[in-house]
Structure 1
Amino acid sequence: MSETWDIAVIGGGNAALCAAITAAEAGARVVILEAAPKPYRGGNSRHTRNFRCMHDGPLGPLVESYTEDEYLADLLKVTGGKTHEGLARVAIRSSEECLPWMQDHGVRFQPSLSGTLSLARTNAFFLGGGKGLVNAYYRTARKLGVTVLYEAAVAHLERAEDRIVWLDYTHEGKNHRIHPKAVVVASGGFQADTDWLARAWGPAAKNFLIRGTPYNRGVVLADLLDQGVEQVGDPTQCHAVAIDGRAPKFDGGIVTRLDCVPFSIVVNKEAERFYDEGEDVWPKRYAIWGRLVAAQPDQVGFVIIDAKSLSLFMPSVFPPIEAESIEALADKMGLPPDRLRATVDAFNAACGDTSKFHPTELDGVTTTGIDPPKTNWARPITEPPFYGYSLRTGVTFTYLGLKVDERAQCSVGNRPVANLWAAGETMAGSILGQGYLAGFGMTIGTVFGRIAGKEAAAHANAS
């Protein structure tokens, strides 16, 4: 291309758009290079639903308050303390100012959400979901003069010492090279490259499903890491959840997630339970189940519930398997009927007083005398018809990424790369060492996308 750009933003999801909008508002000429076709623009952000937000009082659709310390405590709990507290606090503190910024740039939110998800205080839900958010940002970017190229696959960033000197990409069947003053990498993780997943995890990863876009293959990430840009994170750590086993290999999205685990028992292919299904409320603990299922034979699990629990959770897009007896359900699900019957009977016998059952709070309704226990919401599975879902590991995004500082800047050794920033899933491992907290990926992307856009524009404007 003949045009000269101040800033090239690689990627087309939430973080990329926040960076592009912020940079354009600062006067920079910005091009977005989105690998996906236009109907699939937005990366994993298309499938998101909400944004986790700190607030000291009611804010937009959020009720009451959600303090910095409580937010951080929730994050530390799900990560087991494996987080960069300084960067986490940047994300948390900045989230409060992000919500009105999002509204000012076209994002609309649903009224406060109550009920099964327990998120009225903590998470603001997008009106129209992730596609609504992505489309709003693209409209805003267009008004600001941002150029967007679809099916523009970046192949290489050339680093010379402490600078990116050019960028190569393909578009409309041709190779292009541009020399932007600054680059923001917001092109996600490597999860859609299942060969890379298998190298990290072993052959079991071939059985994983990829919840999001098939375009996040880690090409830019690998290119930069090969050139010595500092990396962060463990390639086996990722945001992985248990999803409906009937989901497609790629791009099934949020509708394939199963939220029924707290009200169920979960068994492996041998009809044996393997973890406490009632450990915590779902938004805090749902992301552990992808890894738990990954550790089971053939990387598969099975949810078993009865009629009284069917209305307590948001269902998958696929209907549950239904039967009038446990044995008949086992037959339909390919499980050993006698062993499933024995597991259900042992669980039922371990359940006690259920009078304090409360589906949206830790209720202490627990089992006794079995291992693993179920520490909340433990009710006997006795009321026909009985229902089941198969579970497989659904990978959302990987945590191996580019290491950044509080300015979202990348580095080589101890030296910053003067004109390279990263935002979103491609640097989320800088904060997330393991585990996941519902809505936090959008927080990271929004906060560090805005930071990267601001810093890149300041650099470009001073050049």
Structure 2
Amino acid sequence: MTSYDVIVVGAGNAALCAAISAQEQGSRVLVLEKGPIEKRGGNSFFTDGAIRVGYNNFDAIKTIIDLDEETSNKIKMPNYSPQDFYDDIMRVSQNQSKPELIEKLVTQSLPTIEWMKSHGVNFELNYANQSFEKEGKIEFWGGLPIKTVEKGIGLMRSLFNRCEQLGIDVWYEAAAKKIVTENNEVTALEVSTNEGIQRIACQSVVLACGSLEADKKKRAEALGEEWNAALIRGTEFNTGDGIDMAIEVGAQKFGQYDGCHAIGTDANAPRVGDFQKPGDIYKKHSYPYSVMVNVDGNRFVDEGADFRNYTYAKYGKEVLKQPKSIAFQIYDAKVRPILREEYNLEEATILEAETLEELASKIDINQEQFLQTLKEYNAAVQEGLFNPSEKDGKGTTGITPPKSNWAQTISEGPFYACPVTCGITFSFGGLAATPNGEVLHENGEKIEGLFAAGEMIGGIFYENYPGGSGLMSGSVFGKLAGKSAATHAQAIK
């Protein structure tokens, strides 16, 4: 029977970080990718690459990204400590996140970035989505200043290259089916390949194969039937297999199973992630500068409640709730030049008109109510200085919902409408695990030799999500789970 010290189930960012970490400890490692080689990389392949890190000050960023003195002097970057990172997660999760997991995530974020860099992952400043030029300075905002070079494509290319350099085996079209245990201890894994079912002996298994969002039945059971209307933003292979296998051997479910990361995405995006068009190109995330209306012509959220980083992962759900699960982001000529890069791609759906009346005639909307909503909104906009690099307090009065920041009249043609729907990224429900990735049995004991990473760990995110923290979570807990798995394997060999 074939044998390995550590088997990693999944081949996204968390999984490959786990594999590399386990191999560093001297383990013989196998990675299982359920999809074919041309569809490898999980949800990580589709990410925009922004990765949240507690960096304290700009000097820490300069250890990750090489910047010449002239460029450095032009950059204005606010400090963002691990405590700031911790506070952001706890704030948006309404203090439901498990503190010990979040503490580990934020304190290990910078060391993990440095570790990834040492293994060939390249990072760059997140100019396009997290900065504005003002008086000759490049001002960053939102606590998310770095991203992986070439987004998720570059991240996964670098990690797969590193696995190959280190001699880590990767099997494609290989689906894990059953964890074999004896006396609450992992002894083997059953895997379905093109040659049939194989039983592979091992000392440790790391589950890093995502959540359940791509399985229609499981998604509806966890989140509700209305979620059948949501697009699947990432891989089609995240169907909850790892959760099912772990529960079968007694693992404890944990986290918010009725919660998920879901965003507003182009209404004409593919129904499931297209590996030929990765890079998160369909999202539409300049909505804080928009007026967002449903097909009845009514606003339904405070578009400017906070920076996009702290609202986008929950506003997808709000779009889903609207009639036909559709909304329209409305912009005018004043803000069109500062919209994010995804609005300029050929894949973007944007309708343009010289007047609001003409725009109303081009979209599927209650035209009379739409025009009335815009009239009332424009009248409610307060005086003040519009500043997209900070929460400027330029809001509205006398309308519900209010707009708290970045409120400007929709008054200068041409006018633009971007139809958006809801796209689900991943579910917040997973398994109970320690901060080192050890999976817990229903009785609270560790299942010896079973570990989890990435979206498999429940208790990290609830209700909402600070942008870039999922990618960082995958890296941190992948690295930790890989090390734990290797240590366990060595101890019992």
Question: TM-score, structure 2 length as denominator?
Answer: 0.90
Q: Which residue of 1 aligns with 2:146?
A: 124
The alpha carbon displacement at 1:115 in A equals 2.1
Separation in structure 1 between the aligned mates of residue 437 and residue 44 of structure 2, nearest angstrom: 20
**CA distance in 1: counterparts of 2:261 and 2:20, whole angstroms:** 27
Give yes or no for the alignment of 1:312 onto 2:338: yes
> Is contact 2:3-2:202 (8 Å) kept?
yes
1:442 aligns with 2:471: yes
Task: Tell me how far 1:160 sits from its aligned partner.
Answer: 3.8
1:385 corresponds to 2:414: yes
Residue 172 of structure 2 is aligned to residue 150 of structure 1? yes
Q: Partners in 1 of 2:306 and 2:108 — Cα distance?
A: 27
Which of 218, 231, 236 is the aligned partner of 1:214?
236
Counterpart Cα distance in 2 of 1:445 and 1:152: 21
Map residues 64-75 of structure 1 onto 2, 5 A cutoff.
65-75=79-89
Letter in 1 for 2:382: G
Q: Which moved more, 1:285-294 or 1:56-65?
A: 56-65
Deviation of 1:219 (Å): 1.5
Aligned residues of 2:125 and 2:145 also touching (Cα < 8 A): no
Q: Which residue of 1 aligns with 2:72?
A: none
Gapped regions of structure 2 (runs ≥ 5): 66-74, 133-138
1:52-451 matches, cutoff 5 A:
52-57=52-57, 58-59=59-60, 60-61=64-65, 63=77, 65-111=79-125, 113=127, 114-115=130-131, 118-119=140-141, 122-251=144-273, 254-314=280-340, 315-316=342-343, 317-354=347-384, 356-412=385-441, 413-427=443-457, 429-451=458-480
C-alpha change, 1:435 and 1:161, in structure 2 (3 Å) is farther
Verify the 8 A CA contact 1:107 1:137 in the aligned structure 2: yes
Alpha-carbon contact 1:162-1:415 (below 8 Å) kept? no
Alpha-carbon spacing, 1:126–1:274, altered in 2? closer, same or farther (3 Å): same
Query: 1:358-411 deviations in whole A, cap 9, x for unaligned?
Result: 012111111111111111111110111111111211111111111101221001
2 CA distance for matches of 1:161 and 1:363? 59
Q: Give ranges in structure 1 of 5+ residues lacking alignment.
A: none
> Conserved in 1, the CA contact under 8 Å of 2:142 and 2:309?
no
1:462 alignment partner, SS class: helix
Listed one character per residue, the Cα deviations across residues 311-366 of structure 1 (whole Å, up to 9, x for unaligned) are 22213441411122223222222101111000100100111214x10012111111
The CA distance in 1 between the partners of 2:131 and 2:144, in whole Å, is 13
Distance 2:462 2:311 in 1: 15
Code of the residue aligned with 2:159 in structure 1: it is Y
What SS does the corresponding residue of 1:233 show, helix, strand or coil? strand
Q: 1:155 to 1:84 in 2, by over 3 A?
A: same
- Cα pair distance change 1:430/1:391, threshold 3 Å: same
Which amino acid letter does the alignment assign opposite residue 198 of structure 1?
A
Tell me how far apart the structure 1 counterparts of residues 430 and 126 of structure 2 sit (CA, whole Å). 34
CA distance in 2, matches of 1:303, 1:110: 30
Letter matched to residue 324 of structure 1: E
The CA deviation at 1:121 is 5.0
Could you say if the C-alpha distance between residues 301 and 218 of structure 1 is closer, same or farther in structure 2, counting changes exceeding 3 Å? same
How far is 1:215 from its partner?
0.8
- 2: CA distance between counterparts of 1:56 and 1:281? 20
Corresponding position of 1:21: 20
Q: Report how far residue 158 of structure 1 moved.
A: 2.8
Counterpart-to-counterpart distance in 1, 2:26 and 2:382: 65
Partners of 2:394 and 2:405 within 8 A in 1: yes
Partners in 1 of 2:182 and 2:360 — Cα distance?
61
Q: Which amino acid aligns with 1:379?
A: Q
Offset at residue 290 of structure 1 (A): 0.8
Compared CA separation, residues 123 and 47, structure 1 to 2 (3 A): farther
Residue 8 (structure 1) aligns with: 7
1:202-260 Cα offsets, whole Å, 9 max, x none, are 32111100110111111221232244311112222011111111111111551111112
CA gap 1:360/1:270 in 2 versus in 1, 3 angstroms: same
* Greater Cα shift, 61-70 or 379-388: 61-70
Contact between 2:141 and 2:390, CA under 8 Å: does it hold in 1?
A: no
User: In the TM superposition, what is the alpha-carbon distance from 1:119 to its structure 2 partner?
Assistant: 4.6
Q: For the structure 1 residues 108 and 120, does the alpha-carbon distance in structure 2 shift closer, same or farther, using more than 3 Å as the test?
A: farther
CA distance in 1, matches of 2:141, 2:22: 32
Q: How far off its partner does 1:281 sit?
A: 1.0
Aligned residues of 1:204 and 1:298 also touching (Cα < 8 A): no
Root mean square deviation, CA, Å? 1.7
Amino acid at match of 2:156: V
Deviation at 1:191, TM superposition (A): 0.4
Equivalent position amino acid for 2:90 in 1: L
Give me the whole-angstrom Cα distance separating, in 1, the residues matched to 2:223 and 2:404: 30
- Whether the 8 Å contact between 2:332 and 2:410 is mirrored in structure 1 is yes
Normalised TM-score (structure 1): 0.95
> Which of 443, 451, 455 is the equivalent residue of 2:484?
455
